[in-house]
Structure 1
Amino acid sequence: MAIAEVSPAELKAELDSGSVTLIDVREPDEHAAQAIPGARLVPMHDILSGTVQLPRDEPLVLHCKSGYRSGNVAEALSAAGYEQVRNLSGGIEAWAEAGLPVTSQR
């Protein structure tokens, strides 16, 4: 099942307009080291185990470091009936390479 992808520039515009929720599926230490402003940390294992439910009624974009893990999570959510889920193409690496802002808690 092919999951729709969004480019860093497209995601930035959507975040600026408030039209999307960005979910970081990485681990807390990865998120603390480098994060996209406004991203909500929900580790992959919490989503896949069902311990955290994501909103079904709003557009979601998932991201990880390179897009691989978040792509897998997006596929699982899509299979579970989520209709508005996409993946950030290239992950936070592509976001940072595009010169877009990142934060660090370290």
Structure 2
Amino acid sequence: MVPLIARQELKAAIDAGKITVVDTMPVNYYEKEHIETAVNIPGFPYETAAESTRQHAPTVLPDKDATIVVYCANIPCRNSEFVGAELLNLGYENVYKYREGIEDWVEAGLPTESSHE
């Protein structure tokens, strides 16, 4: 199981530039809106999440010692759990999950960005 990180901790780490954020939503959702600075590793459909993680991680997460936070839409969404677990399997040491996801982030009025800007 991937350890959790709270919204306030995540925001502080982003502001300090000490974290890599991974959006685990499908590409079209990621392009529409994601937490600022986030990279994308699609974790849906669930059956291909591990394969997708193995394919994308070496490029978007070259440093296995970096602190990484994965997130998806909301608490019921499981994309981030699948991607986070596979990152741990691949030897990434510091992986956390922002369980509440982008819905909580947006509701809190925190900044997002779009790949279509």
Q: Structure 1-normalised TM-score?
A: 0.84
Q: Note the residue ranges of structure 2 that are not aligned, 5 or more in a row.
A: none
Distance in structure 2 (CA, Å) of the matches to 1:38 and 1:81: 23
Structure 1: gaps spanning 5 or more residues: none
Aligned AA (1:48): A
Sequence identity (%)? 30
Instruction: Report how many residues are paired.
Output: 105
SS at match of 2:91: coil
The CA deviation at 1:83 is 1.7
User: How far apart, CA to CA, are the structure 1 residues paired with 2:31 and 2:113?
Assistant: 8
The residue aligned with 1:74 is: 84
Give 1:60's match in structure 2, choosing from 57, 60, 68: 68
Write the deviation string for residues 2-42 of structure 1: whole angstroms up to 9, x where unpaired.
32111222111100101110011111210122111111122
Tell me, in whole angstroms, the C-alpha distance in 1 between the residues paired with 2:3 and 2:21: 14
Provide the C-alpha distance between the structure 1 equivalents of 2:107 and 2:69, rounded to a whole number of angstroms. 18
Moved over 4 A (4+): none
For 1:28-74, what per-residue CA distance to the aligned partner results, in whole angstroms no more than 9, with x for missing partners? Answer: 21012211111112223686222222331211101111252101211
Query: TM-score, structure 2 length as denominator?
Result: 0.77
